[in-house]
Amino acid sequence: MQPLTTLADDERLLYDSVYEFADREIRPLVREMDEHAKFAPALIEKLFALGVMGIEIPESYGGGGASFFHSVLAVEALSRVDPSIGVMVDVQNTLVINALLRWGHDDIKQRFLPKMAASLIGAYALSEAGSGSDAFALTTRAVERDGEWRLTGRKLWITNGNEAGVFIVFANVKPEDGYRGITAFLVERGCAGFSVGKKEDKLGIRASSTCELLFEDCPVPKANVLGEVGKGYKVAIETLNEGRIGIGAQMIGLARGALDHTIKYIGERKQFGKAIGEFQSVQHQIARAATEIEAARLLVYNAARLRDAKLPFLTEAAMCKIFSSEVAERTASLAVNLFGGNGFVKEYPVEKLYRDAKIGQIYEGTSNLQLQTIAKQILGT
């Protein structure tokens, strides 16, 4: 199977170099990180050294000065080996850095972007117990007092919660105005009144930390407002649309990783006197999976290129996210089936990918919400 036929030379070089890194540095650690539900600290340092933690940050701030599409390629390549690493890099680039580049004033960029290119991990805190799909039903409040903002509330399911040093936190400064009171704040780890709470014990992407965040009269300087007061809903909507493309990239990387394992296994596993890959029924299943992965990849790439071209991409982002997540689950399930009993035990890699795949249809907008978005756009409702 010839992959990545739609890439320019520099894009292919990036993908290949990131995948080679992942194969060499990450693959030996995947099972241990999954079992202990924790990143290897040295690996995070290597990701920064590789340059994938600040891909779109301008070179003047110490970043790669590359495009959103390059971020998508890096997430895909890493997720082919471990989707847990892929989602950490995805949140860093497509959500946090993307939001700072678009909405941050010069002071914010000067203070945070150089550190995010070198060593600082970011997290994106929107979800709450009562505001998942209904994202703007959040109850975290911000009140102005003594020349600063004070945040009180609780956030749930925050990716990178354990590792992050800066958090984009959404709170409502004027609840009576509904979503028009929502404002985005930059909260730094160590701030008084802020703590990272329980780390979730998850089904999949276990090495990626998913935590609750607690705010109790947490002081935030006015200089740390991201965008305008009362315009946080715009920051959230526009950033999440791009984040969904990143999740699409994570899912096609996962699917390709599952297919890689399966192609190798069916060439080695013998039944009835020959490799199971010689049976036509098996070959047809592999062919269908490869076709679906390529279709999902093209949807993801198209959405990313539209974004870089500053063209509308709302529908395309929703399409690539829902389709790639479904393809990932089907491909990982096929891998488990073709591995047989070995696919059901942790000694082999595909059961982990099967667990990892499920989240793709849930976070950063459930499949039902993506379908609703697509329907609204194409029906004009």
Q: State the catalytic residues.
A: 364
Q: Which residues of 254-282 are buried (b: 16+ CB within 10 A; e: fewer)?
A: bbbbbbebbbebbeeeeeeeeebbeeeeb
Residue 205: helix, strand or coil by DSSP? coil
User: What's the distance, CA 114 to chain centroid?
Assistant: 21
* Nearest C-alpha neighbor of 198 from the set 246, 156, 137: 156
Whole-angstrom Cα distance, residue 309 to residue 358? 31
Per-state percent for the chain, helix, strand, coil, to nearest 5:
60, 15, 25
Task: Tell which residue, 194, 58, 45, has the closest CA to residue 120.
Answer: 45
Helices (H), 2-67: 9-21, 30-36, 41-50
- DSSP calls for 115-139: HHHHT--EEEE--BTTBSSSGGG--
For residues 219 and 150, the answer to whether their CB atoms sit within 8 Å is yes
Rounded to whole angstroms, the Cα distance separating 246 from 90 reads: 6
How many Å apart are CA 332 and CA 350, to the nearest integer?
A: 7
| Alpha carbon separation from 308 to 20, 61, 92, 296, 298 (Å, rounded) | 26, 20, 18, 19, 15
Residue of 260, 271, 268 whose CA lies nearest to 334: 260
CB 97 within 8 A of CB 114: no
Taking residue 292's Cβ as centre, other Cβ atoms within 10 Å add up to 21
